[in-house]
Amino acid sequence: MGIVSPGFFGRPRRDDPGLPPGQYLTEGFPVLSAGPTPRIDPDEWEFTITTETGQVHRWSWTEFLALKQDDVSTDIHCVTSWSKLGTSWRGVSLDTLFESVESDCEFTMAHSYGGYTTNVPLDDLLGGKAWIAHEFDGEALEPAHGGPARLLVPHLYFWKSAKWVRGLEMLRQDEPGFWESNGYHMYGDPWREERYW
């Protein structure tokens, strides 16, 4: 039997070993927002972590920029099937932000300016896996891509990387955020194709 692999000319390459299943490479940087881009003045910006006891940890823009900064190079994967390899970000590790936080919760809800929410387990935010990023490619993060600052959780589908993030709420039990309430997967591992449920 002469088996010839079919030529998928002109189609996205979906067999790249560096890509999760069902993903194709893009060189551009698509903008995907469920609503309008909020404009946040750095003087009014704050990032908070609220624990189950109601304790609120707060950082102003100046305080946030004074924290230890990481330069991160990582691949990102959107559930709509595009992936972008080797993207460059600068931001503050969630490990740094959680240093002073005491909580027994295993789950978090990210809240954004503009109302977007997404749930992420605490384990997925710690251990050098997630950042609050404020630069992309050496420039201030554009408002369309989440500036002044967005959550960056690159090992999960990109809808977990909340743009215009304003805080994390600690949850005793997992709860769906915006897209998770609309059929997206509660966890969203691109390597297991956890797109929808």
Q: Determine if 37 is a binding residue for ligand MTE (CB under 6 A).
A: no
Q: What is the DSSP letter of 19?
A: S
Total residues interacting with Mo ion, rule: CB under 5 A: 4
User: Would you state the structure tokens that stand for residue 47, as one six-digit string?
Assistant: 């990032």
Binding mask 96-135 for ligand MTE (x = CB under 6 A): ----------------x-x-x-------------------
Please identify which residue in 158, 166, 177, 185 interacts with ligand MTE, judged by CB under 6 A: 158
Q: Determine if 145 is a binding residue for ligand MTE (CB under 6 A).
A: yes
Binding mask 150-179 for Mo ion (x = CB under 5 A): ---------x--------------------
Pick the stretch among 4-12, 77-85, 165-173, 184-192 that binds Mo ion (CB under 5 A). 77-85
Q: Give the residues lining the site for ligand MTE (CB under 6 A).
A: 30-34, 78, 112, 114, 116, 145-146, 158-159, 161-164
Q: Give the residues lining the site for Mo ion (CB under 5 A).
A: 32, 78-79, 159
